[in-house]
Amino acid sequence: MSKDVAADIPAAEAPAKRAPLNKYALACAILASMNSILLGYDVSVMSGAQIFMKRDLNITDTQIEVLAGIINIFSLVGSLAAGQTSDWIGRRYTMVLASVIFFAGALIMGLAPSYAVLMLGRFVAGVGVGYALMIAPVYTAEVAPTSARGLLTSFPEVFINTGVLLGYISNYAFHGLPVHLSWRAMFLAGAVPPVFLAVGVLAMPESPRWLVMQGRIGDARRVLQKTSDSPEEAVERLADIKNAVGIPEGIADDDNDELVAIVRKNKGAHGEGVLRDLLLHPTPPVRRILIACLGLQFFQQASGIDSVVLYSPRVFEKAGIKSDANTLGATISVGATKTLFILVATFLLDRVGRRPLLLTSAGGMVVSLVTLASTLHVIAQRGSPAGGATALSGVSIASVLTFVASFSIGMGPIAWVYSSEIFPLRLRAQGCALGTAMNRIMSGAITMSFYSLSHKITLAGNFYLYASIAAAGWVFMYCFLPETRGRGLEDTEKLFGGGDGVEKEDGHGHAKSTELTAQ
């Protein structure tokens, strides 16, 4: 970005006096973000269920590894479909669909008589997870007022961590049942939250940005009046959205036929042409935005967080904790730490900013992973932990807790916050869907290779590898990600060289916003 362009962009500043948190927007964000419980629960409940599943079904470590990680690959179906679905039927009904699909998947897994049926249940649940993971931050970012967007858009990660904690608690609560019932009860308990989530979502309003994309300006105005910090902000947000969609001034808000015709001409009503503008013919600003989104999602997962959450019982076992009760009890501390520190992050996002938290988070992850890997290496060299190795066991556990805490104060929530902020309106849903797809691909690759890599390069080598990736992520974020704190949602693309949002004709005769054009 040139110096002249940079000079035209005002520096991001926090408001001198913070507006009171909008309670209606807060309620919408909480309801939407609760869908993310499904992902956290499914990942963590598998960490304990696999212990009993392996004994009951007589399956190998490789089969467990595939079963645990394949849901992330399956979730690609949901995350990629969610972009188009949410542009077609709306953000709200997409969340209802996510809950219904996950409910069916939880039932299939809990009642599965064989490994093959378990795999079917993982597929169905994975599609539901993909839908929920993509749509929650998009909806929340579109509803939240600018002053609290960082706080509210981090809520999906808060509820992912809540789901992780609930999954660990479920593991501990049901571990005393007979082997053939314990893991089934753990999965069936996951069918309860989607029922309440689907009902709660129906009480939410639709996203004002989606409503404008359908030409429903009056409905969008009513939602913005409830979710903005002031009437003036509601007017300004509506004007920005109309400008981004390509609705010129002077068009009557109740002239639905003309509004819909304008929006469809600009190919924004149902997402037509979006993937073309994202992948086939992106402008330089869009290319930079897409790289920022995909890179951030890549490093979030490639640094090993899901392996630590999913396989922490095995890590603690290698560190010297032998009984099922003690191992599962220690994993609860992982869930509690993740949940506690994500709450810290939510209150710092709009005060400190995205970049400082991301860089602090990645730095803490590198240090924690190197310490964990080094400790496990020493323990492996000494053999079964005993005597002096007891202290090393404590260091291993502390390193895991420090790692998840570091992840939760930055990389965890901000990957979703940042991705949902930087895309222009017309590209947001499907752009975020691509980011979610990258996230799930890497999560699947990491979790499905954990045991295999541990056999090849040792458990300690695994964590050294994750540490090197996290270090590369620090460099990427330092060099490539601008600060977005305090900017309007329709304004953030200017940081990547975007224009002013005025409609122009592209080379193919299609209306195209200059928000996608380099200045």
pLDDT one-digit tens code per residue, 104-121: 999 999 999 889 999 999
| pLDDT at 509 exceeding the cut of 60 | no
At 512 the pLDDT is: 42
DSSP state of 279: I
Number of H helices, E strands in the chain: 23, 2
Do 172 and 221 belong together in one domain? no
Per the DSSP assignment, residues forming a β-bridge with 504 are 512
| Residues 485 and 456 both lie in one domain | yes
Judgement on whether residues 353 and 437 belong to the same structural domain of the protein: yes
CA angle 297, 377, 473 (to 5 degrees): 20
Same domain, yes or no, for 346 and 226? no
- What are the tens digits of pLDDT across the range 386-408? 444 478 888 888 999 999 999 99
Look at 314 and 180; give whichever has higher pLDDT: 180
| Pair 191, 246 in one domain | no
How does residue 507 score in pLDDT terms, banded at 50, 70 and 90?
Answer: very low
Task: Determine the average pLDDT of the residues in 122-146.
Answer: 85
Residue 501, pLDDT score: 41
Confidence of residue 383 (pLDDT cuts 50, 70, 90): low
pLDDT beyond 90 at 362: yes
CATH of the domain at 296: 1.20.1250.20
Tell me: do 173 and 238 sit in the same domain: no
What is the domain range of residue 485?
A: 282-495
- Shared domain for 309 and 410, answered yes or no, is yes
Number of structural domains the chain divides into: 3
Give the model's pLDDT for residue 255: 56
Query: What is the C-alpha to C-alpha distance for residues 13 and 350, in angstroms, rounded to an integer?
Result: 10
Whether pLDDT at 32 is above 60: yes
C-alpha span between 5 and 397 (Å, rounded): 48
Select the more confidently predicted residue: 8 or 61.
61
Q: Please state the rounded mean pLDDT for residues 154-182.
A: 85
Task: List for the chain the helix, strand, coil content (%; round to 5).
Answer: 80, 0, 20
Q: Is residue 3 part of a domain?
A: no
User: How confident is the model at residue 416, as a pLDDT?
Assistant: 82
How far apart CA 278 and CA 293 sit, in angstroms, is 12
Position 321 scores a pLDDT of 73
378/414 same-domain check: yes
Residue 106 covered by a domain = yes
- Are 397 and 488 contained in the same domain? yes
- pLDDT for residue 413: 86
Residue 367 placed within a domain: yes
| Euclidean distance between CA atoms 497 and 282, whole angstroms | 13
pLDDT for position 515: 40
Tens digit of each residue's pLDDT (9 = 90 or more) over 432-449: 888 888 988 898 889 888
The pLDDT of residue 18: 56
400 assigned to some structural domain: yes
Identify whether residues 292 and 416 lie together within a single domain. Answer: yes
| 352 pLDDT more than 80 | yes
Domain shared by 359 and 399, yes or no: yes
Q: Does a structural domain hold residue 16?
A: no
Looking at the fold, whether 375 and 480 belong to one and the same domain comes out as yes
Task: Kindly state whether residue 506 falls inside one of the protein's structural domains.
Answer: no
Closest by CA to 514, choosing from 259, 244, 264, 274, is: 244
Asked if the structure places residue 138 within a domain, the reply is: yes
In whole angstroms, give the CA distance from residue 307 to residue 186: 19
| Residue finishing a domain among 204, 223, 243 | 204
The reported pTM is 0.68
User: 9 in a domain, yes or no?
Assistant: no
**Mean pLDDT across the stretch 265-274?**
55
Q: Say if residues 107 and 118 touch (Cβ distance below 8 Å).
A: no
